[in-house]
């Protein structure tokens, strides 16, 4: 199970499509991703060039990460990265 947080604050929980891993799915949805490690063995995947692309600030994701986050993000259990 993953959580997608869009810049408008919409938060959706969904499954990764069969045949993909979370990084492949995130790369298709977000772009090349960079992890932000969170407490409780969670990770937030963000667009690594989001600030260069001047994407909008994601207020909800910023609250979760404790740092400014832009664009759509995916939050999942860190074990899904393997």
What is the Cα–Cα distance from 11 to 4, expressed in whole angstroms?
6
- What pLDDT score was predicted for residue 30? 93
| pLDDT for the residue numbered 82 | 77
* Full DSSP string of 34-65: EEEEETTTEEEEEETTTTTTTPPB-HHHHHHH
Contacts of 74 (CB under 8 A, 6+ apart): 2, 3, 4, 5, 22, 25, 26, 29, 30, 33, 44, 45
Residues of the chain with pLDDT under 50: none
Dihedral angle, C-alpha 17, 21, 27, 28, nearest 10 °: -20
């Amino acid at each position: 199970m993953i959580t997608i947080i869009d810049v408008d604050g919409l938060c959706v929980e969904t499954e990764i499509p069969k045949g993909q891993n979370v990084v492949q799915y995130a790369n298709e949805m977000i772009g090349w991703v960079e992890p932000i490690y969170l407490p409780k063995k969670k990770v937030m995947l963000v667009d690594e060039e989001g600030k260069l692309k001047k994407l909008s600030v994601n207020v909800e994701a910023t609250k979760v990460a404790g740092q400014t986050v832009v664009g759509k993000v995916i939050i999942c259990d860190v074990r899904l990265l393997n």
